[in-house]
Structure 1
Amino acid sequence: MRILWTSLLTVFCWCFTEAENTKLDRIERCQTTCSQGLSCRTKGEYWFPPACLEPTADQQNTSVFHNISVSPVMKCEGKQKCKLNLRVKAVLELSELIHGLSICTISAGMMRNCQKISFTKTSRTKMSGLQVTVDNDCTEVSPSQQVHITVKTIPEYCGIKWTSNYQTPGCIMEDLRRNVPECITGRLSYITNLEKKELRINVSDMLENHTYHLRLCHKDYICVGTGASTQIKKEQSVKSAILRYSQPLPCLCIEGWSAVVDAPRVQVCPFKDRLEELWSGITFDPLEEALLWEPACPVTATAGLCEKREDGTCADLPRSSQNVSRGKLTFAKVDPRPQLCMKFTAGSQSWVRCPFRDGIKAWDVVVTSRQGHQDVQLVSQVPATFSVGLCGRSANATCQEDARNVVRVLNATNLTLTGKACSSCLQVKRQDVNYAATVVHCFEQCSQESQDWTWFVLPAAICLSGIIIINLVLHLLLTVYQRRKKERQLKQTDSTLDSVACTTQTQHVLRGSLFLTVPPQCRSKEKVNLISK
C-alpha cells in the first residue's frame, strides 16, 4: 500500500511539474487551414441548423472521421494580453456529399459556439475519396472550463458525428498565469518579524497598470478577512507593503488580487506548519462544570482528556476522545484539578495543555500536625461525592490501594485514618462528575515513629537537665565550703603569730631595764609576766 501511495504521489508531482513547465503554442490570429489542394473558408454560425439527413449506404458502411484531436493554444496581442483558444484538428474521408464541417463547443452557463467550415465545390470534387485534414483554432474558451465538443458534416447526416468532453488548462499552468489576464494573480513573497508580529510582503508579476489588493485572512471554505488589508498603487515603484497579525495560526494566509472584476486571487500561508498555535483558548464554565475549546482553524485531529502523572506522562481518560471539526468541543461535568489536562493529536504528533495548572482548586486535602499525630480534612467549595482510599507506597513509586470508601462532602469533612500513616498515601477521586483525576496525597515518612521518639527523647532531656542542675548546685556548695574553710585557717595562723611577737617584746623590755609602751592586745599578757617575776 505504501508503494502504491508513493507511486501515485510521484505521478501527481510529475503531472503538476509538467503543467507548471509546459508552454502553449502561440498564434497571432485565429484561422482555418485545410489539406493542400482543398480550399476551405469559415462562415458565420447559423442559428437554426436544418434537420439531419439520412446517410447513404456507402456512408453507413465506411467511417467518415478517422482522427480528431483537441489542444489549447494562446492568441496573444502583447505582454499579458493573451487569450485561450482551442485547436481542433480533424482527419476525415472526403466525398462529394460532404460540403464542409461544423465544429461546435458548449459549456455550462455558456451559449453554443460553432465554427462553420465549407469546402469549395471544385476542390471537394477533385479530392473526393481522399483523407483530408481540417485545422481550426478559432474557438475561444476560458481556463479550467469543461467543454463539450461536437464535430459534424455539412450537411449533417444523422448518426455521423464525433463528440468528446475536454477540460481546458487551468491557471495553475505557469504560461497562463503569466500571460492570460484572467489568470494573472501576481507572485507573493514575505519576510516574517515574529517580535513585532509583522509580515513584509513583496509582489511581483502583478497585472500591469492596475492597483493590487493585499489582506490577511483565515482560510477555510473561503478566506475570511481578519481586518488587516492594504493596497499597492499602480504608480508605486516598490511593490511591497507591511501587514500586522495577532497570532501566527496555520490558517492565517496572505491573499492578493488585482483590482479588476472577478480577478483571480493568490494565497500564501506563512505559518501553515505551526499546529501548536491551535491548542490554546481552552475555557472552563464553573456553573456547568464544562471544559470548552474551539479550533481557530480547521484541522484534522482528535482531542481528549488525560491525567498528568508525576513522571510527566499524561494517561488518557476513558471515553473522552473526540474528533476535532470546525465546531466547538464540550467536555461536560469535569472536575477542575491541576492534574487534569487536554491532549491533542494530529498525525503522529501530540500536544498536552493543562488549563487548571494555575487555577483555583474546587476541593483539596488539608493535613495538620498536632500533638504528634496528623489530622486529615477533605474541604470542598461545592457539594460533591468522593471516593477515598488509603494505600501504601511500593518500591516502584506506585500506590497500591488497600481500601476505598465513598464520602459525601458539603463543606468540610474530617477523615479518620485507620492503621499507621507511616509510608502511606491517601487517594481521592471525585465521583459525581464524568471526568476526574485521581489525587494522591502522601504523608510524612514514619510519622508514628517520630511520635514514639518524641516520648522517649523528652523524659531523657528532662533527666539530663536535672543532673546538670544538681551538679551545678553541688559544685557551688563545695566552692563556698572550701572558701570558708580557708578563711578559718588563715585566722588561726594570724593569732599564733601575734602571741609569738608579744612574748619576744616583753622579754626585750625586761632585759634592757627599759619601759616601753606595748600594743593593747599584748598588755594583759605582759602584766601577767611582770607579776610572775
Structure 2
Amino acid sequence: MILWMYLLMFYYCLGLNGAAAENTRLDRIEKCGTKCSQGLHCKPKQRYLFPTPCQNPAEGLNTTSVFHNISLSTVMRCDGRQKCSLHLRIKTVLQLSESIHGVTFCTITAGMMPHCQTFSFTRTSRERMTGLQVEIENDCTAISPSQQVQVTVKTVANYCGVTLASTYHTPQCINEDLKRHVPECITGRLSYDVNPEMKELSVNVSDMLEDRDYLLRLCHKNFICVGTGASTLIKKEQPVKSVILSYSRPLPCLCIEGWSVVTDARRVQVCPFKDRLKELWTGITFDPVEKTLLWEPSCPVTAVVSLCEKREDSVCVDLPHSSRNVGREKITFTKVDPHPKLCMKFTAGSQSWTRCPFADGRFQAWDVVVTRQQGREEVKVWSQITTTFSLRLCVKFAGHPVCQNNETHLQVEKHKAVDLNLTGKLCNSCVQVKMVGVKYAVTVIHCLKQCNQSSPDSHIITDQPTWDLTWVVVPAGVCLASIIIVTLLLHVVLTVHRRRKPNRKKERVCTSEKQVDPALDFVVSALETQPALQGGVLIPDSPHCGNEKANLISN
C-alpha cells in the first residue's frame, strides 16, 4: 500500500513538472497572418507612413462598447532547431456596426517608429454581421526578447476616443524555450570540475550555436565581468568542447564566462566558488607610521566590518564606534593600537569571521610583563615607544573584574619597563592597562594569581622605574673580590719580608732552649705557617725567647 502511494505521488509530481515545463513552451506558427471570425472576411490594406487623423464618431455609434477585450501573447516561428523568431499575437473583440469598416493594430517599442497594420472588412461580410461581436487576430508583428511593447487598437474609420490600448512585456532569454531555439538567446551551457590542488577548472560546453565558434574565459563578476586573462577559443569543428582554465584564488566572484563568436552575443556565467566568502577576508594591511589599518574587498559583498578585542575565551568583543558597511571603497581605521589582541570581524548575513592581523606580534608596541620571584609577582608595563597608558584597579567577582572609578595615567619611556608595584593581599585584584592617544585600543587585564605579602599601606600603583638587581649585585661582587685579592697579596709580601730579616743570634738562643714536648712542636709549626687568626689568634713569641714558644690569646 505504501509503495502504491509512493508511486502515485511520484507520477503526480512528475505530471506537475511536465505541465510547468510545457507552460514555458511557446506556441508555434508556420507562417504569420490575420484571422477573423467565421463569416467575416478581412484583408490587409496599404500602409501609410503617417497615421490618419481621427474624426468625430458616426451618429448612433456607442464609443464605450465598441471594443470588449484585447489579448497579447508571444508565438514562435522556426526555420530550424536553432533558427526561431518571435512574433506578437494580437487578439481583440469588437461590436461590429455599419460605420466600422475595419481595425488598425499599432505597436510601439523603445527607440522605434510606430508600426501599424490596417485590416478592412469586405462590404458583404460587414453588412451580414453588423450588430454581432467579432474577433480579429494577427501575429505578424516581429518582436525581440525582453521588449516592452505598447499596443493600440483603432477603428477604421479612425473615430476619436474609440481606441483600446495595452502594454506587453515579451519573454526574456531565461525562458528555456528561447534559450534552446532563438539564436540571440542561445549562450551555450557550461559545466565544470574543480581541481583544487592544481588550481584548475575543467570546463565543458554544450548546446552552443552549431555554426559558430565559442569563447571561454575567467572573470571577476561585478556590474560587468572583468576578465582575468586571455580568452580560450573552442572551434565549432572540435568533437569535444572542453578546455582547462587555471585560477589563482577561489574567490566568490570568480566566474567562467562563455559566448558565441557573433556580434553582441549574449554571455553566460557560472561561478564555481560563489559560497566561498571566507576567501574575501584577506589582504589586511597596516601602515605603522600613520597607524592605519586598511582592507579592500576583492569582490562585491554585502557585509559589515568592525574592530574587536579578543578575550582569553576566544570571544571577540566589538570596540565602540568601529562598525563599517562594506562598499566599493577601502575600509580604513586610523589611530589603531597594533596589539595582538586587536582583530577585525567580518559579518555577512548570519555568519561571522575574525582575522587578527597583529597576532604574530610583528607590530606590537607594548605589553604587560609578569615575573614571579620568591613567591611574589612583579607586573611591569613595557613599551617600544614613549607613550601614556591608563591604569585602573579592579576587583574580581565571579570571574569578571569590576574596576574602580579612579583612573591613573602612566608615562612610559621608549624601551623602558615601569613596575606597577602591586603589593598587599591582592589575590582578588586585577589591573587594566590601555594605551592612551589612539582611537582604537585594546585593554589588557592582569589578575594576580599569588598573594603579595607586603605592607598594606604601600602604594598600589607607582610609576617609578624598576632597577634590575643585577646591575647592583654584580659590580659589588667584583669590588669585594678585588679587595680580598689585594689584601691577601699584601699579607703574603709582608710575611715573606719579615721572615728574611737577619737575626741569627736570636735564632741560636731560641734553638738551644727549644722545648722537647711533641705537643709543643705542633704549636710551633702552626705558628710558623699561620701567623694570625681571627677569633682565637695565635701570635708569634716576642723577640725575647722565654720558656714558652707561643701564647694562645682567646677573645
TM range (shorter): 0.7 to 0.9
Please tell me whether residue 32 in structure 1 is matched to residue 37 in structure 2.
no
| 1:93-143 CA-partner distances (Å, limit 9, x unpaired) | 222322221111011112222222122222222322222221110001111
Structure 2 residues not aligned, in runs of 5+: 1-15, 455-555
Q: Which residue of 2 aligns with 1:419?
A: 423
Instruction: Evaluate the alpha carbon distance shift between residue 61 and residue 181 of structure 1 in structure 2; reply closer, same or farther with a 3 A threshold.
Output: closer
Superposed, which structure 2 residues align to 1:60-79 within 5 Å?
60=62, 63-79=65-81
Using the TM superposition, give the Cα deviation of residue 445 of structure 1 relative to its aligned residue in structure 2, in angstroms.
3.2
Instruction: Evaluate the alpha carbon distance shift between residue 50 and residue 248 of structure 1 in structure 2; reply closer, same or farther with a 3 A threshold.
Output: same
Q: Which residue of 1 aligns with 2:388?
A: 385
Q: Do 2:96 and 2:131's aligned partners in 1 also have CA atoms closer than 8 Å?
A: yes
412, 427, 434: which one aligns with 1:409: 412
Q: Do 1:19 and 1:172's aligned partners in 2 also have CA atoms closer than 8 Å?
A: no
Q: Which residue of 2 aligns with 1:90?
A: 92
Classify the secondary structure of the residue corresponding to 2:360: coil
Q: Which residue of 2 aligns with 1:440?
A: 445
Instruction: Evaluate the alpha carbon distance shift between residue 410 and residue 266 of structure 1 in structure 2; reply closer, same or farther with a 3 A threshold.
Output: same
C-alpha distance in 2 between matches for 1:425 and 1:351: 30
Using the TM superposition, give the Cα deviation of residue 374 of structure 1 relative to its aligned residue in structure 2, in angstroms.
6.1
Moved more, 408-417 or 113-122: 408-417
Q: Which residue of 2 aligns with 1:460?
A: none
Q: Do 2:375 and 2:450's aligned partners in 1 also have CA atoms closer than 8 Å?
A: no
Moved more, 364-373 or 239-248: 364-373
Please tell me whether residue 55 in structure 1 is matched to residue 60 in structure 2.
no
Instruction: Evaluate the alpha carbon distance shift between residue 67 and residue 239 of structure 1 in structure 2; reply closer, same or farther with a 3 A threshold.
Output: same
Indicate the structure (1 or 2) with the bigger Cα radius of gyration.
Answer: 1
Q: Do 2:57 and 2:63's aligned partners in 1 also have CA atoms closer than 8 Å?
A: no
C-alpha distance in 2 between matches for 1:321 and 1:329: 10
Q: Do 1:188 and 1:202's aligned partners in 2 also have CA atoms closer than 8 Å?
A: yes
Q: Which amino acid aligns with 1:210?
A: R
Q: Which residue of 2 aligns with 1:364?
A: 367
C-alpha distance in 1 between matches for 2:45 and 2:248: 61
Q: Which residue of 2 aligns with 1:219?
A: 221
Q: Which residue of 2 aligns with 1:137?
A: 139
419, 428, 436: which one aligns with 1:431: 436
Q: Which amino acid aligns with 1:68?
A: I
C-alpha distance in 1 between matches for 2:156 and 2:64: 17
Q: Do 2:379 and 2:422's aligned partners in 1 also have CA atoms closer than 8 Å?
A: no
Q: Do 1:228 and 1:244's aligned partners in 2 also have CA atoms closer than 8 Å?
A: no
Q: Which residue of 1 aligns with 2:158?
A: 156
Classify the secondary structure of the residue corresponding to 1:199: strand
Instruction: Evaluate the alpha carbon distance shift between residue 334 and residue 56 of structure 1 in structure 2; reply closer, same or farther with a 3 A threshold.
Output: same
Instruction: Evaluate the alpha carbon distance shift between residue 283 and residue 61 of structure 1 in structure 2; reply closer, same or farther with a 3 A threshold.
Output: closer
C-alpha distance in 2 between matches for 1:170 and 1:75: 17
Q: Do 1:99 and 1:118's aligned partners in 2 also have CA atoms closer than 8 Å?
A: yes
Q: Which amino acid aligns with 2:240?
A: V
- Residues paired across the two proteins, number: 434
RMSD, matched Cα: 2.5
Q: Which residue of 2 aligns with 1:271?
A: 273
C-alpha distance in 1 between matches for 2:445 and 2:86: 73
C-alpha distance in 2 between matches for 1:350 and 1:154: 68
Instruction: Evaluate the alpha carbon distance shift between residue 140 and residue 57 of structure 1 in structure 2; reply closer, same or farther with a 3 A threshold.
Output: same
Using the TM superposition, give the Cα deviation of residue 186 of structure 1 relative to its aligned residue in structure 2, in angstroms.
1.0
Using the TM superposition, give the Cα deviation of residue 44 of structure 1 relative to its aligned residue in structure 2, in angstroms.
3.9
Q: Which amino acid aligns with 2:334?
A: A
203, 206, 223: which one aligns with 1:204: 206
Structure number having the greater helix percentage: 1
| 1:244-271 CA-partner distances (Å, limit 9, x unpaired) | 1111111221111111111111111111
Structure 1 residues not aligned, in runs of 5+: 1-13, 450-533
Percent identity (aligned) = 62
Q: Do 1:19 and 1:173's aligned partners in 2 also have CA atoms closer than 8 Å?
A: no
Classify the secondary structure of the residue corresponding to 1:57: coil
Q: Which amino acid aligns with 2:225?
A: C
Please tell me whether residue 353 in structure 1 is matched to residue 355 in structure 2.
yes
| 1:52-105 CA-partner distances (Å, limit 9, x unpaired) | 111023213562112221111001111111111001111112223222211110
C-alpha distance in 2 between matches for 1:68 and 1:21: 21
Classify the secondary structure of the residue corresponding to 1:176: helix
C-alpha distance in 1 between matches for 2:151 and 2:126: 25
- Using structure 2 for the length normalisation, give the TM-score: 0.73
Instruction: Evaluate the alpha carbon distance shift between residue 391 and residue 94 of structure 1 in structure 2; reply closer, same or farther with a 3 A threshold.
Output: closer
| 1:348-404 CA-partner distances (Å, limit 9, x unpaired) | 11111111111321112345667887665433223322113455655x444444664
- Using structure 1 for the length normalisation, give the TM-score: 0.76
